[in-house]
Structure 1
Amino acid sequence: MKGILLAGGRGTRLYPLTKTISKQLLPVYDKPMIFYPLSTLMLFDIREILIISTPEDLPNIERLLGNGSTLGLSISYAIQEEPRGIAEAFIIGASFIGEDNVCLILGDNIFYLGEHINKYVDAIHKHEHSQATIFAYHVSNPNRFGVIEFDNNFNVKSIEEKPINPKSNFVSVGLYFYPSDVIAKANKLSPSKRNELEITDLNNMYLKEGRLQALPLLRGNAWLDAGTPDSLMDSSNFVQIIEKRQGLKIACLEEIAYKKGYINADQLEGIINNLTDGNYKDYLIKVLADEYEFY
């Protein structure tokens, strides 16, 4: 399975923070925002990744992450000239996807899945060639999101974008898994009133065919959309609390790569030797010494 990280948009909700820097490069506590969605792809065992961003922001993102080889990844890049909708990512990334299944994650979405990650991986792999999988999260203000209506067996009945009268408190989050036919479906989409190719319209295509499952995130999991000043602050506070209480980092890319076997001890030591002294280097030294369990 391949992964697409959509880091486009103009960051208007965060202006003026985003006047000179990409939203995805803003700090979420002790790391750039983009580390968090990238770490989620890595935790789902996805190592071939396409990052899509604006012409202005892509060079800085590429300067940060390079080709991913030091992390045992293969990272490539593509441009989205204008914010024409989430679903356009599959059109831009068509040649990258090819005949493979694909995961799309939004660059401002932060997930804390803990030990439940294996449960989600198994559920996705079970039907990954035949159906799409989205995730649902219970929120107090569903009218701001794409609302998922379930039946009594947690089968999806409907998905409605930002409804005035939500049919549930479950909303669709920015993590999506699709079979390779997603390219053909994305090309059939018509722009919405916002002149965008809507991900909700794409998901409804799979729903009408009976090929969509929605996995509710379990209690103890967390999802944050760090795209507004308040949610950016909430995200930083969340990460700070977890890391200070546990002494374990969230979204430490080098740790994940090492613990997942993407890189070996010698490679991690090489990364450490190239870092300047500081808390991040000290943490990786402890990771290499196996003083910390993985998440």
Structure 2
Amino acid sequence: MEVLAMILAGGRGSRLDILSAHRVKPGVPFAGKFRIIDFTLSNCSNSGIYNVALLTQYLPLSLNEHIGSGRPWDFDRRDSSITLLQPYETSEDKSWYKGTADAIRQNIRYIKNSNAKYVLILSGDHIYKMNYQWMLDEHKKNNAALTIAAKTVPYEEANRFGIFEVDDTKKILSFEEKPENPKSNFASMGIYIFNTDTLIKYIENEEIPDLDFGKHVIPKMLTDNERIFLHCYDSYWKDVGTYDSYLEANIDLIKKSEEVGINLYDENWKIYTRSKNAAPVRIGVTGSILNSLVCDGCKIEGRVENSVIGPNVTVRAGSTVRNSIIFEDTYIDENSHLEKVIVDKKVYVGKYSLIGHGDDYKANNEKPDLLSSGISVLGKKVHVGENVTIGRNVRIFPEKDIDSHAQIGSGETLK
């Protein structure tokens, strides 16, 4: 085996809040029919990397069911595999993953048994397309011990990222996490190719409990003057770790591909997923769809604009959905209006209800850092009665029943 891909997919994604209350962040639905993890898995498949290990931890059940044997991504071939790795107790009393490098360290035996020459380490919660073979070719050409993918960001935003300083050959000279005065605008994407022996050397016997690549491993390798090079990536890449970035990334898919740089319709680089069988979309005589993604099984009798609609969603006559994301099996009854709302699975919205309503953009009382731009979020299996009005920046937790005629002001949280 030449390359083993290790995908870190165990993070809770706490900033996605209600959406990750009952699922791991990489398992959150995206673009209607996909999960976030599908982009990384499809990148592996399209790059010809078929030996993949998925490191899970937080609420792994739905993600495990989604992955299964890996058939949609062609990982069930005779000469390939996908392995799900979870934390386990040992005689050394190791259990939960405490850092990115610690997660890899706790599976070092698996890496050794693979006999892979290179280890590709990925995150399972980013939206992008990338040919990892191009990165591997550069790694070999540079005779590198480690190659790190980086994307240029505006200088005014560089202090939010881990930033690399490089020479003319893209050899990394220094690395600094969230620097006040960044020396460059090359931001780490959290994508690494290690020579396997180098990876083992720097993590196997390291005693730091919360061992992390950015905080510990990379600085130590730079101190030791190891050959570390940068692979520059210049296409679309989005970390969908907040409500705002999640909504923005979904809406980006509606735009023309030349505007945002990612194309779901590229036959040469497909995004694969485990799909459910569903009937074709039906647009009724009163229905209309404008600049939106609408998945199979939907029945649209109202108006959908600038939105992403998951499978088996019903929008009844007289209702409108604008600038929103609606997950599968949701039912929006007659004459209701949704604006800038993220709605999880199996939600019912009663007649004559207004969600994301009004000009009051008061930030969420409980989580002002998460919701302040006007997005309201309804958790899984929420039931909204008739004639309900819900303002902006509202959080409604899963399975909450909202009585008819209720008035929920902007910034409120219902648990």
| Separation in 2, partners of 1:247, 1:131 | 34
1:177 counterpart = 2:169: no
Alpha-carbon deviation of 1:93? 2.5
Alpha-carbon deviation of 1:244? 11
SS in 2 for 1:17: helix
Aligned match for 1:253, one of 272, 275, 293: 272
Aligned match for 1:233, one of 247, 250, 274: 247
1:16 counterpart = 2:30: no
Aligned match for 1:79, one of 80, 86, 100: 86
SS in 2 for 1:142: helix
Alpha-carbon deviation of 1:280? 7.0
Alpha-carbon deviation of 1:121? 4.3
SS in 2 for 1:168: coil
Structure scoring higher RCO (CA < 8 A, sep ≥ 6) equals: 1
Ranges in structure 1 where 5+ consecutive residues have no aligned partner? 255-270, 283-295
| Separation in 1, partners of 2:204, 2:122 | 19
Q: Is the 8 A contact 2:6 2:120 kept in 1?
A: yes
Give the aligned partner of residue 168 of structure 1: 184
Per the alignment, do residues 38 and 71 of structure 1 end up closer, same or farther by CA in structure 2, a change over 3 Å counting?
closer
| Separation in 2, partners of 1:131, 1:20 | 39
Task: Please list, as runs of the form range in 1=range in 2, the aligned pairs for 1:75-224 lying within 5 A after superposition.
Answer: 75-80=82-87, 82-98=96-112, 99-100=115-116, 101-113=118-130, 119-126=134-141, 131-140=145-154, 141-181=157-197, 182-191=199-208, 196-200=210-214, 201-207=216-222, 208-218=224-234, 221-224=235-238
Give the aligned partner of residue 329 of structure 2: none
Alpha-carbon deviation of 1:88? 1.6
Per the alignment, do residues 210 and 13 of structure 1 end up closer, same or farther by CA in structure 2, a change over 3 Å counting?
same
TM-score, normalised to structure 2's length? 0.55
Alpha-carbon deviation of 1:125? 4.2
Alpha-carbon deviation of 1:118? 5.7
1:134-155 per-residue CA deviation (whole Å, 9 max, x = no partner) reads 1111112122221111224432
Per the alignment, do residues 50 and 155 of structure 1 end up closer, same or farther by CA in structure 2, a change over 3 Å counting?
same
SS in 1 for 2:62: helix
TM-score, normalised to structure 1's length? 0.76
Q: Is the 8 A contact 1:147 1:171 kept in 2?
A: yes
| Separation in 1, partners of 2:227, 2:217 | 12
Per the alignment, do residues 94 and 70 of structure 1 end up closer, same or farther by CA in structure 2, a change over 3 Å counting?
same
Bigger radius of gyration, 1 or 2? 2
| Separation in 2, partners of 1:107, 1:230 | 19
SS in 1 for 2:196: coil
| Separation in 1, partners of 2:256, 2:64 | 29
1:187-212 per-residue CA deviation (whole Å, 9 max, x = no partner) reads 34453xxx621112222333333321
| Separation in 1, partners of 2:278, 2:164 | 46
Per the alignment, do residues 253 and 118 of structure 1 end up closer, same or farther by CA in structure 2, a change over 3 Å counting?
same
| Separation in 1, partners of 2:196, 2:180 | 33
| Structure that is richer in helix per residue | 1
Per the alignment, do residues 180 and 154 of structure 1 end up closer, same or farther by CA in structure 2, a change over 3 Å counting?
closer
User: What is the aligned length?
Assistant: 256
Identical aligned residues as a percent: 25
Tell me which amino acid in the other structure corresponds to 1:77.
L
Tell me which amino acid in the other structure corresponds to 2:82.
I
Give RMSD over aligned pairs: 2.9
Q: Is the 8 A contact 1:36 1:109 kept in 2?
A: yes
| Separation in 2, partners of 1:227, 1:68 | 25
| Separation in 2, partners of 1:247, 1:224 | 15
| Separation in 1, partners of 2:264, 2:174 | 41
SS in 2 for 1:15: helix
SS in 2 for 1:253: coil
1:28-57 per-residue CA deviation (whole Å, 9 max, x = no partner) reads 223111101111222332111111111x52
1:209-262 per-residue CA deviation (whole Å, 9 max, x = no partner) reads 3321111113xx1221111222212221233335699670675226xxxxxxxx
| Separation in 1, partners of 2:212, 2:149 | 16
SS in 1 for 2:204: helix
Alpha-carbon deviation of 1:63? 0.5
| Separation in 2, partners of 1:117, 1:104 | 11
